[in-house]
Amino acid sequence: MIKIDESLLQEIGLSSLSSDDKNSLLKHIYETLEMRVGIRLADQMSQEQLDEFEKYFQAKDDVGAFNWLETNFPNYKDIVQNEFDKLKQEVAGSVPDILKSIAP
């Protein structure tokens, strides 16, 4: 199960960040993951599927969107996990740069 919370930051060595920096980084990680998953799924969709899925997105119908994904892309959870693992590795590899960029 994917957790984008303080335990993730602790796992990759960023537990020393301030609360504001943690919240900002967690938000960035979430938004980046969402974008990457969206791109990967969109690349696999026909125009008709894109239009259909977009209706759920525009209606802010998360339940409908997830149900649609489960029906049309039963492997979407694997895509999410794969992208999360890659993103986590990227962030973990950037820990020294992240810590330098926020040092007082």
Neighbours of 41 (CB within 10 A): 19
Neighbours of 70 (CB within 10 A): 12
- Give the separation between CA 86 and CA 13, rounded to whole angstroms: 16
Count of domains in the chain? 1
Where in the sequence is the domain holding 79, given as residue range(s)? 6-102
Percentage, residues of the chain above pLDDT 90: 89
Residue closest to 90 by CA, chosen among 24, 14, 38, 19? 14
Model pLDDT for residues 92-101, shown as the tens digit of each residue: 999 999 998 8
95 is a domain residue: yes
Across the chain, mean pLDDT equals 93
55 is a domain residue: yes
Exposure of 3 in the CB half-sphere (CA atoms within 13 A):
9
Q: Is 0.95 surpassed by the pTM of this model?
A: no
1 is a domain residue: no
Residue 66: partners with Cβ closer than 8 Å, 6 or more residues away: none
54 is a domain residue: yes
